Structure 1
Amino acid sequence: MKAQMKALIVIAVALAAGCGKTDRPDEAGSPGGAKGSETAPAPGMTTEPVTLTFFTEGNSAILAETIERLVSQKYPNVTLRTIKSAKGTLIEDVMGAGTSIDLLSYSLGGLGKVKDYKLVSDLTPLMQKYGFDTSRFADGVLDTVKSYFEDGTVSALPFELNNNVLFYNKGIFDKFGVSYPKDGMTWEQVYDLAKKVTRTEGGVQYKGFQLEGINLVYKNQMGLGFVDPKTLRATVNNDPWKKWIEQMAEFYKIPGNEPTNNYKINFLQNQTLAMSTGPNFLTEIPEAAAKGLDWDVVQLPQFAGLEGKGGQMNAPYYAIPPSSKNKDSAFLVMQYLLSDEVQTIMARQGRIPIVKKEEVRKEYAKDLKGMEGKNIAAFFKDTIGAPVPSTKYDAIAKSAVNAAFNKVATNAADANTALRQAEEDINKQIDAEKAK
């Protein structure tokens, strides 16, 4: 009797709630249906077995096994058939073989190629259908993503940031009695420090500062363009890019601080490099620390007069090809990989979260050894600047600008000559690509 009374009460409440709302469409679009939008559960993953072909390149290839494990735990009915980009399985090979890709992960440098192969589609309908909240992203992420596509759509979703810091070897600074770097420095101030710690001691050449140029070209803290989107001509032979190249190359003019082939070997293994920056290599620090590296980090330096201006976002991303037969399942997997849960797991492993939630950011690097007492907050002081005009040929231009930087750094050419040659080379490559 009690059970019957309880059921009647539930029915009465349901009927009362429905009064005056018979014209509300249900999920199928018909008014007054039994699946009204207020009572129907949110759409979710199918319970049927699903196999998703997941092509990975760059960071997600490194994380492939972790991603597979997390997805199988969240969605036991989903199988990821992962294809890692490698010799014989490059995106060109996979597309040439006629393989249908459901979910794609790629580095920013390959976006033009991915777009050429028509492997991206507007994710907005799926984001709306499944309630994806873009306000969770770090400031600047969404605007930058939209700038990648001519129609301003969200056709890719980045899954981690590549925030930079300045790594430094405390032992070298201690050896020479020089004060450590600090947050908020300009490149000019770092140059002065680099001169002080570039010395020869006991037959060992200590270098003050080295960087990976291509990474900072992509970051582009000055907010400079590469290719005019209207004319599709290079826009790098100008005074602002000359200033950038000359100032960054000036580090390598310091006697004893000439460039070497691998800055990370000097910093992590030889431990003869005082300061370094480029892609975030925090995950490699614990092994070096176990071999004696006494280290810390500070905020990525900025150019004088541009303090507080963020660099360009350089983030790997997920995309769903329009040819996928499993778009909904692929998107739900993507949405899970961008959830606070997974972002926290990845953050603890040293991957900088794409979301701005403070609770997630506080977990950054906690699974790595030796992070206690380090200036981890410096990673989140590297903010995202306003996007520059984007074209499918930007990767060509960025590589050419980095080549120009290397020529100037090694005294193979002056900045004017190097940039003129870079612009000519970019335009030739663009013309060749357009002629294909």
Structure 2
Amino acid sequence: MFQRGWHRIGLIAMTGVVVWATAGCGNSAPPAEAGKEGSAGAPPAPVTLNFFTHGNSMVLAETIETLVRQKFPHITIRTTKDGKGTTIFDVLNAGQTPDLISYSLGSVQDLRTLRLLSDLTPLIQQHKFDLNRLVPGAVEAAKAFSDKGELLLMPFELNNNAIYYNKTIFDKFGVSYPQDGMTWEQLLDLAKKVTRTDGGVSYKGFQYSALNLVYKDQLALGFVDPKTNKAAVNNDAWKRWLDVMTSFYKIDGNAQAGDEKANFLKNQTVAMRTGPNYLTELPAAMDAGLNVDFAALPRFEGMSAVSSQMNAPFYVIPPSTPHKDEAFQVIAYLLSDEVQTLMARQGRIPIVKEESVRKEYAKDLKGMDGKNLAAFFQDAIAKPAPSTPYDGQAKSIFTNAALVPVYQGKADINTALREAEEQINKFIEAEQKK
């Protein structure tokens, strides 16, 4: 029986429902053709693909079923959504083997341990899928999850960060808006200027989603040393990262309080925020008075050319499926310019670099005209940090044992890093004994 032997992390991806539309959304041909005809020109035999989907990408399930049905009439998608009683463990324990899986990046180790990952390279070659269509860094980042250079997963969209800011708050206090190309240190100075109390309302200058920024890891620092399988967080580089990222919550009046998302969208008391992309939720907030725009995610002083670690949900094809070809045809179509354009228009950041696709970003979302949407595309993919099977839990431990205690004033940086180091090492030791 398959058991849960570790804490699983579902990386928060973009939220919002993607609506299927049949209007022309790009005319690029998919990288792989539809199912091949059978003998003597007969139509391909019907195939049912068991599709398991996990994380916030579950909102795409019905859209994917519709897209596949229209493109490949002989392929039927039978979807299982992750939930209580329907986790990947439950599905496997019931004797059901998925043919195609959609998962979140923070839980790659789940699939690795369950032996649900397979090298996609032979299928990529067979179907002549052009990896050069993907944004720079995507393939290298995906291959970093294999120590053999295999491509075990195919990212299908990006969750790039930007600074969302409330123009009304800046206007109220006569402060200039954030700009593209800022450093975190410059953003800190700006946050101090808009952290104020006015009319009995406490305005926060800048808030962020903690785990999300840990996953972004803009300094490309490892969490675990792949050579020793020991924690690699108690060092000067991580000390610098922690010092900069906790400095915002040390601003008088800017202490973290409540849900940054609700405070920005609903209460509208946060001047700037960053974290998971929830562009699809902005129209409703704008109808309620939010005057929002965007700036590029800041970078560390002296590292203007350094971007972020890839943050992307992905597809995998389990090695046991008898329908590898059909599953890859589905993946290739969902990564075609046609489908990527459709998704882009609904506010999902395309994984392909085709400029005509990127220009369609958020065009179906109300109120996005004139906004600095280009800010999202400045959060490029950096060279992958050292990767190990223990990273998912190590990132969670680092967030909860180091980042949060420091910005809450419950621990100093040196103490917090030592505590995170100890907890990560204990976790790894326990995993190795299983």
TM over 0.5: yes
**Equivalent residue for 2:277?**
280
Q: Which residue of 2 aligns with 1:414?
A: 412
2:315 match: 318
Residues 296, 376 of structure 2: 8 Å contact kept: yes
The answer for the alignment partner of 1:405 in structure 2 is: 403
State the distance in 2 between where 1:319 and 1:179 align.
45
Contact in 1 for aligned 2:221/2:386 (Cα 8 Å): no
Q: Report the AA paired with residue 417 of structure 2.
A: L
Using the alignment, how far apart are the partners of 1:435 and 1:96 within structure 2? 23
Match for residue 59 of structure 2 among 57, 62, 80 = 62
Match of 2:421 in 1: 423
Structure 2 residue identity aligned to 1:73 = Q
C-alpha change, 1:43 and 1:163, in structure 2 (3 Å) is: closer
Report deviation, 1:48.
1.2
Alignment of 1:71-110 (within 5 A): 71-110=68-107
Q: Which residue of 2 aligns with 1:239?
A: 236
Whichever of the two has the greater Rg, that structure is 1
Map 1:23-422 → 2, pairs under 5 A: 44-45=35-36, 47-403=44-400, 404-422=402-420
Matched AA of 1:199: R
Identity of aligned residues (%): 60
How many angstroms apart in 2 are the aligned matches of 1:198 and 1:327? 54
Would you say how many aligned residue pairs link Structure 1 and Structure 2? 396
Does the residue aligned with 2:386 lie in a helix, a strand or coil? coil
Residues in 1 aligned to 2:366 and 2:72: alpha-carbon distance in whole angstroms: 31
1:34 alignment counterpart: none
Q: Deviations over 1:278-307 (max 9, x none)?
A: 111111111100000001000001111111
Which amino acid in the other structure matches residue 266 of structure 1?
N
Question: Shift of the alpha carbon at 1:87?
Answer: 1.1
Q: Distance in 2 between matches of 1:424 and 1:118?
A: 29
Counterpart-to-counterpart distance in 1, 2:206 and 2:122: 47
For 1:176 and 1:229, locate their aligned partners in 2 and report how far apart those are by CA, in whole Å.
49
Over the aligned positions, Cα root-mean-square deviation in angstroms equals: 1.2
State the 4+ residue runs in structure 1 displaced beyond 3 angstroms: 41-46
Whether the aligned pair in 1 keeps the contact of 2:55 and 2:104 (CA below 8 Å) is: yes
Q: Which one-letter code corresponds to 1:75 in the other structure?
A: F
Name the TM-score, length of structure 2 as normaliser.
0.90
Give CA-to-partner distance per residue, 1:81-119, whole Å, 9 cap, x none: 101111111111112222111000100110011111011
Q: Write the letter of the residue equivalent to 1:187.
A: W
User: Per-residue deviation at 1:59?
Assistant: 3.4
Report the alpha carbon displacement of residue 166 of structure 1 after superposing the two structures with TM: 0.3
Local SS of the residue matching 2:157? coil
TM-score (norm 1): 0.89
Task: Give how far 1:261 is off.
Answer: 2.7
Distance 1:60 1:198 in 2: 35
- Superposed CA deviations along residues 162-196 of structure 1, whole A, max 9, x for unmatched, are 11100000000000000001100111111111111
Stretches of structure 2 that go unaligned for 5 or more consecutive residues are 1-31, 38-43
Other structure's SS at 1:63 match: helix
Q: CA deviation at 1:45?
A: 4.3
**8 Å Cα contact 2:206/2:273 also seen in 1:** yes
Letter in structure 2 aligned against 1:94: V
- Contact 1:45 1:329 survives alignment (8 Å): no
Quote the residue 1:7 is aligned against: none
Q: What's the CA shift for 1:43?
A: 7.9
Distance 1:93 1:237 in 2: 37
How far, CA to CA, are the matches of 2:170 and 2:351 in structure 1? 33
Task: Report the CA distance shift for 1:43/1:380 in structure 2 as closer, same or farther (over 3 A).
Answer: closer
| Inter-partner Cα distance in structure 2 for 1:291 and 1:126 | 48
Q: Describe the SS at the equivalent of 2:351.
A: coil
Code of the aligned partner of 1:203: G
8 Å contact kept, 1:43–1:130: no
Kindly tell me: are residues 195 and 52 of structure 1, through their superposed partners in 2, closer, same or farther at Cα, counting changes over 3 Å? same
Shift of 1:60: 2.5
Deviates more, 1:92-101 or 1:205-214: 92-101
**Shift, 1:389, TM fit:** 1.3
Tell me by how many angstroms 1:229 deviates: 1.1
Q: Distance in 2 between matches of 1:59 and 1:125?
A: 29
239-248 or 171-180, which deviates more: 239-248
- Verify the 8 A CA contact 2:35 2:72 in the aligned structure 1: no
- Structure 1 portions without partners, runs of 5+: 1-40
Aligned residue type for 1:411:
G
